[in-house]
Amino acid sequence: MSTTILFTIISLSAIGGGAAIILYFVAQKFKVYEDPRIDQVEEALPGANCGGCGYPGCRGFAEALVKTDDISELNCPVGGNETMSTIAKILGKEVEAKEPLVAVVRCSGSPEHRKRVNQYDGASSCAISSSLYAGETDCQYGCLGLGDCVDACDFDAIYMDKKTGLPVVIDDNCTACGACVKACPNDIIELRKKNKKDRKIFVSCINQDKGGIARKACRVACIGCGKCVKVCPFDAITMENFLAYIDPVKCKLCRKCVTECPTGSILEINFPPRKVKEDTKNAKSEPKKVSEKSENNSSTQNK
């Protein structure tokens, strides 16, 4: 009995040892070399795994940074220029500073501007709702108001306003990862350049219907009149499919288009209040009226 047990132990040990040797040589033959700098770059990244860089997580982005000779086109929106500068030092490569971006909601169709004509009774999802019908209002382009963008955001940078039924972006929390942009089936959310003091001017409408139809669906819709295009001194506004679009790079924030828009579809945000110009004609006419009254008074006194 003891001889059988001993033989069994020796046999199993021999088989295990032989298998281990075979596996070792196979692993050495087929092993994949991994650059140790990938771990260093991954540690420098914020670890959000949001996909804003275009890669599946920070690990995938780290691999791309290490394997790519020119990283000037790659960017981590969450970490920003500081993180990319650190990575460039680790890799010994050059990287250009990118202008910060922020998400912007291009729809002002609140209930006071865009009347509800039906009621949706289904799954609380913009993606599902948009696949079924055009929405609860006559505007088939606007916000569906079911909050897919809020669910997609990992940074608490967007919420649904209960009064307007529209998403609101918290600029200080926004990392420009683009998750909300991808989540919106109607493409009303856009990443735009973040200017000083977070000032921005944009057309808060994506309705591509003709003027009369668009205005009937929403009182603050762009009607494609072209007045903003004519008044812009920097050629920053283009008109396509009855819809104006302001280029955030060309726009110099002069605000001329804002006052020219007849429907108020162009928004100016975080600007100081405009100075009210006094009516010079009225100002000049007032002393004349006083003088006329004084003359009349003096004449009656003489009488």
Same domain for 260 and 129: yes
231 lies in which domain range? Answer: 101-269
Last residue of a domain, one of 73, 91, 109: 91
Same domain for 163 and 67: no
Same domain for 242 and 121: yes
Per-residue pLDDT at 62: 94
Same domain for 151 and 42: no
Per-residue pLDDT at 160: 97
Same domain for 181 and 74: no
Of 236, 223, 144, 226, residue with least CA distance to 188? 144
- Whether residue 115 lies inside any domain: the answer is yes
Q: Token pair for residue 212?
A: 């009369």
221: domain CATH number? 3.30.70.20
- Using CA atoms, how far residue 134 sits from 125, 179, 186, 213, 218, in Å, is 13, 23, 10, 15, 14
> How far is Cα 10 from Cα 191, in angstroms, rounded to an integer?
68
* DSSP line for 227-254: HHHHH-TT--EEEETTEEEE-TTT----
42: domain CATH number? 1.10.15.40
Same domain for 229 and 107: yes
> How far is Cα 205 from Cα 220, in angstroms, rounded to an integer?
8
Same domain for 41 and 170: no
Last residue of a domain, one of 57, 91, 125: 91
Q: Token pair for residue 104?
A: 């912007």
Q: Token pair for residue 230?
A: 């004519």
Same domain for 111 and 232: yes
Of 271, 266, 217, 290, residue with least CA distance to 106? 266
Same domain for 235 and 127: yes
- Whether residue 197 lies inside any domain: the answer is yes
Same domain for 242 and 171: yes
- Whether residue 166 lies inside any domain: the answer is yes
Residue 125 has phi, psi (to 5 degrees) of -150, 130
Residue segments in the chain with a per-residue pLDDT below the cut of 50: 279-303
Please give the tally of structural domains in the chain: 2
The pTM score is 0.77
Same domain for 122 and 86: no
Same domain for 113 and 218: yes
